[in-house]
Amino acid sequence: MLNYKRYRRFPAFRYPERTWMDKEITEAPIWCSVDLRDGNQALVDPMSVEEKIEFFQMLVKLGFKEIEVGFPAASQIEYDFLRQLIERKMIPDDVTVQVLVQCRAEQLERTFDCLAGLKQAIVHIYNSTSVLQRDVVFHKSKEEIIDIALTGTQLVKKYAAGFPGHIRLEYSPESFTGTEMDYAAEICNAVLDAWECGEGREVIINLPSTVEMNTPNVYADQIEYMSKHLKYREHVILSVHPHNDRGEGVASTELALLAGADRVEGTLFGNGERTGNVDILTLAYNMFSQGVDPKLALEDVNSIKEVYERCTKMTIPPRQPYAGALVFTAFSGSHQDAINKGVQAMHERQSTIWEVPYLPIDPADIGRKYEPIVRINSQSGKGGVAFVMDAQFGYKLPKGMQREFADYIQALSEQEGEVSPQEIYDIFQAEYVETKEPIHFKNIRTTDTENGDDTYTTMAHVTYLNHGSMKTFDGVGNGPIDAVISGLAEELKINIKVLDYQEHALGTGSNVKAVSYIHLLDVNTGKTSYGVGLSSNITRSSIRGLFSAVNRMFFPEEAEAAGKKRVEQKKAGQNPRDLFGNS
């Protein structure tokens, strides 16, 4: 049994004056990527200088205007990396790099040496302020902790005075969430006073949840309290730097934005110490899904993922929001059916607003258009199979046929697991479109005779193969299909009736074909069957569909054997249709 008594609830900050609950996120914050510092230091194999340069260039391309590039005073490779960016003139004028440094003279001196040549930079100082760290790590009083922050501020002020570019100060009371709120406000305001915060001397006050210690609403209360108790608020950029120890980093950040935060520090895909930093991509895509411009160029998540995985040697989990391989994939039959109907409804209504069940955004909007939304396994249903046939191959199966065909695919998936779209297509072709045994339609010649009352009688002369032998028959009806049915019924001594006929174009331009679906009834037995025909000529397409249905209904064993042979040829020895019974 878990020894839960070793732990105690962290006391919640009580702030009944809160107002954030009734607000909504209506615009993107200032984004600051800390991938190259906080994210990089959390890697088993930190990035090389060239890998960091490639990652930096990607961040610039994505639209980040503030990028924390490292801790140059603490690591030679981070010092060299920043020097490379500066000397190779790789930092655009509208991008500000940020460097982290402790409140120590020798580190600040080396940091400013590294910044030489920049027009602008953010110098980020920090010291821990929490009750626990003051007690067990530093053994210092509140006043002594404030002195550390003020010493660092004065040193930055000193070096900034001699720096030819513009320096903006960022101060973080590290372990903010474990700090008394009145004390956190006191130390931050002391820093603001020391820096002489004001017009042209704006300060970033960064409030990290260095370790998540409570629920997101408590963090939001803390942020709103600080927003209302900081001096010079109009000249303060209130920033948050959430971690994800409780798995609530995204929620904490979103509530912090409601509570007054102006800026977010985070990483792509949430990489960082322990369980990671807040995932900026998830935050940005969440805004996008609500009609808010995230102010980042995130149209191709696959390319972001590729650079990230290669440079960090990390792997994106398959259920990672938006980027994971399976996040836009439905296996459940009911989900697939709802997705299929939602997409159809959008097309029918010509809606410009995305509203599809189970899909909060259109995967195509973030570069996922070539990945299957619906994947078929034993849990799938008719809606999923129909969606694959429509979305990937253009076949819009009639509702009754969806269930009939899905039964074949489910039988296969129960034996072999997931069935690929290509396998589904191959089985469809073999089972319906290419079902030409034992009777195989070859040609038709029709003649129309006017009846005098604006109606016509069609006479059809059909050539076909029956078990390999060329034969012909004639039929008469009120159109080509009716004429062929009457002639075929007489020729084969069967009694058949068309229950439903549907057709649509397949493809576009000069390559367009007509696909026809025939739902046929054996009047004597009540048995029904579907057939599918495909041709650039609509009449030939419908007659092929009729012959397909007759083969499947009256000659199931021969049709089955011929279909199996075709599948074997296409699938190099695999026999998925061995699972199928007679159709």
- CATH number (domain holding residue 443): 3.30.160.270
Choose from 64-68, 103-107, 391-395 the range with maximum mean pLDDT: 64-68
Does residue 326 lie within any of the structural domains? Answer: no
The residue among 567 and 501 whose pLDDT is bigger is 501
In DSSP notation, 375-407 reads -BSTT--HHHHHHHHHHHH-----HHHHHHHHH
Confidence of residue 378 (pLDDT cuts 50, 70, 90): low
Residue closest to 38 by CA, chosen among 347, 383, 276:
276
* pLDDT at site 451: 79
Quote the CA–CA distance of 69 and 78 in Å, as a whole number.
Answer: 8
Q: Residue 572: its pLDDT value, please?
A: 55
Q: Are residues 396 and 362 in the same domain?
A: yes
Chain-centre distance of CA 480, in angstroms?
Answer: 49
Residue 21 has pLDDT above 80, yes or no: yes
How is residue 352 annotated by DSSP? S
pTM tops 0.95: no
Q: What is the pLDDT of residues 223-254, one digit of tens each?
A: 999 999 999 999 999 999 999 999 999 999 99
Distance between CA 293 and CA 313 in Å, rounded?
A: 30
Query: 102 and 212, same structural domain?
Result: yes
Evaluate whether residue 574 is within a structural domain: no
- pLDDT value at 335 more than 90: no
Which range (57-61, 149-153, 478-482) has the least confidence?
A: 478-482
Dist. CA 168–CA 239, nearest whole Å: 14
Q: Are residues 409 and 455 in the same domain?
A: no
Looking at the chain, the whole-number percentage of residues with pLDDT higher than 90 is 75
Domain for residue 539, yes or no?
yes
Best CA proximity match to 361, nearest among 294, 303, 257, 287: 287
Nearest-angstrom CA–CA distance, 174 and 27:
27
Same domain (yes/no): 252, 380: no
> Long-range pairs for 328-331 at CB < 8 Å and ≥24 separation?
328/359, 328/363, 328/368, 328/371, 328/373, 329/371, 329/372, 329/373, 329/374, 329/375, 330/358, 330/373, 330/374, 330/375, 330/384, 331/375, 331/376, 331/377, 331/379, 331/380, 331/384
Checking if the pLDDT of 450 tops 90, the result is no
The Cα 195–Cα 204 span in angstroms is: 11
- Shared-domain flag, residues 184 and 247: yes
Look at residues 423, 413, 393, 412 and name the one whose alpha carbon lies nearest to residue 532. Answer: 393
Residues 269 and 403 in one domain: no
CA distances from 453 to 212, 328, 457, 459 (A): 84, 57, 11, 18
Q: What is the pLDDT of residue 251?
A: 98
Residue 478 clears pLDDT 80, i.e. is over it: yes
Cα gap 293→28, rounded to integer Å:
7
Question: CA nearest 265: which of 52, 100, 120, 153?
Answer: 100
Which tokens go with 228?
A: 């209302």
The pLDDT-based confidence of 28 (bands split at 50, 70, 90) is very high
Task: Please report the pLDDT score of residue 85 as a whole number.
Answer: 97
pLDDT at 370 over 50: no
For residue 8, is it within any domain? no
Residue 581 confidence (pLDDT) above 60: no
pLDDT at 376: 65
Lowest mean pLDDT among 108-122, 204-218, 373-387, 433-447: 373-387
DSSP string, 420-462: -HHHHHHHHIIIIIT---SEEEEEEEEEEEE-SSS-EEEEEEE
CB distance 114 to 163 below 8 Å: no
In a domain, 6, yes or no: no
User: Do 415 and 448 fall within a single domain?
Assistant: no
* Whole-number Å distance between alpha carbons of 162 and 267: 32
Taking the C-alpha atoms of residue 416 and residue 419, their distance in angstroms, rounded to an integer, is 8
Identify the pLDDT of residue 4.
79
Q: What is the mean pLDDT of the chain?
A: 91
pLDDT tens readout for residues 436-445:
889 999 999 9
Q: How confident is the model at residue 580 (pLDDT cuts 50, 70, 90)?
A: very low
CA distance 194 to 292: 37
Helix (H) or strand (E) holding 198: none
Token pair recorded at residue 156: 């930055």
> How confident is residue 382, by pLDDT bands cut at 50, 70 and 90?
low
In the predicted model, what is the mean pLDDT of residues 30-57? 95
The pLDDT tens digits for 72-98 are: 999 899 999 999 999 999 999 999 999
pLDDT at 342 over 60: yes
Dist. CA 523–CA 520, nearest whole Å: 9
Q: What CATH number is given to the structural domain containing 283? A: 3.20.20.70
With cut-offs at 50, 70 and 90, classify the pLDDT of residue 339: confident
Residues 463, 540: Cα–Cα separation, whole Å: 12
Checking if the pLDDT of 372 tops 70, the result is no
- Asked if residue 134 belongs to a domain, the reply is yes
Q: How far is CA 476 from CA 244, 425, 461, 482, 487, in A?
A: 75, 35, 9, 7, 7
Task: Classify residue 467: in a domain, yes or no.
Answer: yes
Return the structure tokens found at 387. 């969606």
Looking at the structure, tell me whether residues 288 and 339 fall in a common domain. no
> Quick one: pLDDT band at residue 563, thresholds 50, 70, 90?
low
Assess whether pLDDT exceeds 80 at residue 57: yes
Q: What is the mean pLDDT of residues 463-478?
A: 94
Per-range mean pLDDT, top range of 216-225, 319-328, 351-360: 216-225
Output the pLDDT for position 577: 38
> Which residues of 62-216 form beta strands (DSSP E)?
66-70, 96-102, 120-128, 166-174, 203-209
Mean pLDDT for 517-527 is 95
Structure confidence at residue 574 (pLDDT): 47
What is the per-residue pLDDT for 1? 81
Mark whether 498 and 415 lie in a shared domain: no
Domain count, the chain: 3
Containing structural domain, residue 542: 439-554
Average pLDDT, integer, range 338-351: 89
For 278-293, what is the mean pLDDT?
97
- The pLDDT value given to residue 8: 84
> In the predicted model, what is the mean pLDDT of residues 155-160?
97
Q: Is the pLDDT of residue 381 over 80?
A: no
Domain membership of residue 522 (yes or no) is yes
Rounded distance, CA 271 to CA 509, Å? 48
Three-state DSSP at 280 gives helix
290 & 367 share domain: no
pLDDT at 380: 63
| pLDDT top residue among 549 and 565 | 549
Read off the amino acid at residue 91. Answer: I
pLDDT higher than threshold 90 for residue 125 = yes
* 380 and 287 housed in the same domain: no
Eight-state DSSP code of residue 328: T
221 and 105 both lie in a single domain: yes
Q: What is the bridge-based pairing of β-strands 96-102 and 456-466?
A: unpaired
pLDDT at 375: 60
pLDDT at 368: 85
Pairing label, strands 166-174, 203-209: parallel
3-state secondary structure of 354: coil
